[in-house]
């Protein structure tokens, strides 16, 4: 049997552990695109531990004290403009219509008495990690699926007749130790256990007794892993509910691996394994901002993103061989450039290649740029990389410089030293 543990409204629940005034009222955590990395003055931004497994995307933080006023409100022409979106809303706030990804300004219109606090990722990271370590001590096999979700395999360890009570005890013990409410779904299938958690919320436990009966009327769009494209394909064959999938085994199996995997996840008993952390396959960073039509400013921002990516690659001890840069325009269009290389990776090389890509895309630019996205992929182990003999001297010199800079940035923040191309 599998259990799926989902922290209820995690970010706001975490905030309530340090601020009891947020309990039992409409409350939410908000965030906004972190544009502080583009500031020309020095700050003390640091990177959370990217190897912890708690986050899919990199999280940066600094020591600046955030308040609603200094974080969400911008002064524009002498007037206050509220920026940012809702990241997590309490159930009291949801009752007012407040939803995740809703603009904060709209949330305040719907729920004038809502209390919105700035995100505090170091707190969420610490709690998530502590919960994971706790579960490792209490469950034989545990998988951290996301910052606020975990899977556990109880097969052969807890008698099936005792699993419901075990889950109830686990839920209460987590609350007693961490002051964090969780909901737990239980099923013979790992993936159906995740669906069952939706029936357990908030702060409940739900056991799927009859898998086929439970899933038969659930719309396919509710199942994690069915994207828009696959959903459209299923609906073209008249498949609308998960029960329909179980009646279409021959069709799903004819679609080879994707169809077979989907059928098994939904319809097969005792299906699923606990996945342990896989090696990181890419590192990416993106930022959205008001439209900018100045090439030099966009180039400066690309170079800053390159510095951040280089630092992360150095911490992960990988040698990226493929670089990708994408720019998004105000009119909704976008352009992308990429390159593969066998050079020994360094901040200098990444900046040079990103600049070349940007110059090519700028020729066909379509108005102001509103978003930048960069990725480095195709990793090899930095200690096992065969250097390009034509550039070995320069590449080794750049790598030594990166290591020295990385040590300083570990202590003083990523902005302690900036190169001339970022000013």
Please report the DSSP string for 280-336 in residue order: P-EEEEEEEEEEE--HHHHHHHHHHHHHHHHHHHHHHTEEEEEEEEEEEETTS-EEE
Q: Is residue 277 part of a domain?
A: no
For 178, 210, 243, 245, 344, the CA distances from 216, given in Å and listed in that order, are 36, 10, 4, 9, 54
255 and 313 share a domain?
Answer: no
In a domain, 150, yes or no: yes
Does residue 56 fall inside a structural domain? yes
The predicted pLDDT at position 387 comes to 55
Q: What is the pLDDT of residue 150?
A: 96
Pick the catalytic residue from 141, 149, 261, 352. Answer: 149
Is this structure's pTM higher than 0.85? Answer: no
Whether 2 is covered by a domain: the verdict is no
CATH of the domain at 333: 3.30.1490.100
E strand or H helix that includes residue 3: strand 2-7
Number of domain units in the chain: 3
State whether 293 and 312 are in the same domain: yes
- Predicted local distance difference test score (pLDDT) of residue 212: 93
**pLDDT at residue 108, rounded to an integer:** 97
| DSSP strands (E only) in 53-137 | 60-61, 73-76, 79-82, 85-89, 115-118
| Residue 272, in any domain of the structure | no
Tell me whether residue 273 is in a domain.
no
d(CA 413, CA 405): 10
Alpha-carbon distance of 366 to 291, in angstroms, equals 11
In tens digits, the chain (423 residues) has pLDDT values of 999 999 999 999 999 999 999 999 999 999 987 777 787 766 667 766 554 444 445 566 666 678 899 889 988 888 888 989 999 999 999 999 999 999 999 999 999 999 999 998 889 988 999 999 999 999 989 999 989 999 999 998 999 999 999 999 999 999 999 999 999 999 999 999 999 999 999 999 999 999 999 999 999 999 988 888 899 999 999 999 999 999 999 999 999 999 999 999 999 988 888 887 666 678 888 898 989 999 999 999 999 999 999 988 888 888 999 999 999 999 989 999 999 988 889 999 999 999 999 999 998 887 899 999 999 998 876 555 555 556 677 778 888 888 888 888 877 777 777 777 776
- Looking at residue 52, its pLDDT comes to 47
- DSSP label at residue 393: H
Q: What was the pLDDT predicted at 102?
A: 96
Is residue 323 within 8 A of residue 353, CB to CB? The reply is yes
182: β partners: 7
- Is residue 321 within 8 Å of residue 283, measured between CB atoms? no
Question: What range does the domain containing 20 cover?
Answer: 8-119
- Is residue 305 located within the same domain as residue 411? yes
Domain stop point among 234, 267, 300:
267
DSSP output for 212-270: HHHHTTSBGGGSTT--HHHHHHHHHTT--BHHHHHT-HHHHHHTHHHHHHHHHHHH-TT
User: Which domain CATH number covers 61?
Assistant: 3.40.1170.60
Domain final residue pick, 71, 94, 119: 119
Distance (Å, whole) CA 342 – CA 76: 47
**SS3 call for 373:** strand
Same domain, 41 and 168: no
Rounded Cα distance, 179 and 183, in Å: 13
Q: Give the domain-ending residue among 233, 267, 301.
A: 267
Q: Does residue 347 carry a catalytic annotation?
A: no
Please check whether residues 172 and 191 belong to one and the same domain.
yes
């Amino acid at each position: 049997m599998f259990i799926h543990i989902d922290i209820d409204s995690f970010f706001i629940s975490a905030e309530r552990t340090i601020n009891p005034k947020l309990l039992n009222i409409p409350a939410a955590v908000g965030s906004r695109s972190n544009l502080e990395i583009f500031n020309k003055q020095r700050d003390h931004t640091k990177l959370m531990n990217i190897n912890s497994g708690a986050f899919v995307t990199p999280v940066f933080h600094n020591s600046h004290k955030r308040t609603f006023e200094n974080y969400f409100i911008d002064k524009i022409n002498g007037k206050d403009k509220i920026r940012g979106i809702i990241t997590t809303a309490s159930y009291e706030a949801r009752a007012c219509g407040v939803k995740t990804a809703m603009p904060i300004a709209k949330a305040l219109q719907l729920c004038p008495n809502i209390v919105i606090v700035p995100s505090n990722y170091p707190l969420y990271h610490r709690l998530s990690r502590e919960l994971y370590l706790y579960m490792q001590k209490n469950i034989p096999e545990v998988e951290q699926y996301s910052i606020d979700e975990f899977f556990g395999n109880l097969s052969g360890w807890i008698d099936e007749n005792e699993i419901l009570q075990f889950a109830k005890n686990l839920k209460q013990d987590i609350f007693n130790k961490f002051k964090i409410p969780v909901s737990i779904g239980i099923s013979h299938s790992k993936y159906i256990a995740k669906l069952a958690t939706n029936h357990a919320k908030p702060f409940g436990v739900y056991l799927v007794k009859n898998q086929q009966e439970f899933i038969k009327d659930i719309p396919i769009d509710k199942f994690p892993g069915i994207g828009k494209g696959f959903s459209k394909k299923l609906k073209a064959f008249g498949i609308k509910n998960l029960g329909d999938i179980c009646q279409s085994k021959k069709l799903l199996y004819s679609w080879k691996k994707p169809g077979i995997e989907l059928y098994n996840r939904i319809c097969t008993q005792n299906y699923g394994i606990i996945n342990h952390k896989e090696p990181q396959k890419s590192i990416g960073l993106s930022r959205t901002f008001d439209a900018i039509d100045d090439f030099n400013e966009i180039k400066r921002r690309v170079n800053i993103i390159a510095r951040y990516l280089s630092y992360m690659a150095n911490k992960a001890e990988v040698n990226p061989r493929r670089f990708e840069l994408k720019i998004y325009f105000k009119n909704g269009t976008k352009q992308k450039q990429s390159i593969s290389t066998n050079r020994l990776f360094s901040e200098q090389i990444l900046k040079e290649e990103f600049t070349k890509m940007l110059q090519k895309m700028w020729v066909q630019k379509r108005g102001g740029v509103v978003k930048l996205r960069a990725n480095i992929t195709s990793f090899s182990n930095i200690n096992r990389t065969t250097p390009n003999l034509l550039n070995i001297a320069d590449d080794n010199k750049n790598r030594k410089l990166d290591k020295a800079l990385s040590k300083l940035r570990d202590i003083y923040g990523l902005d302690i030293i900036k190169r001339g191309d970022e000013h």
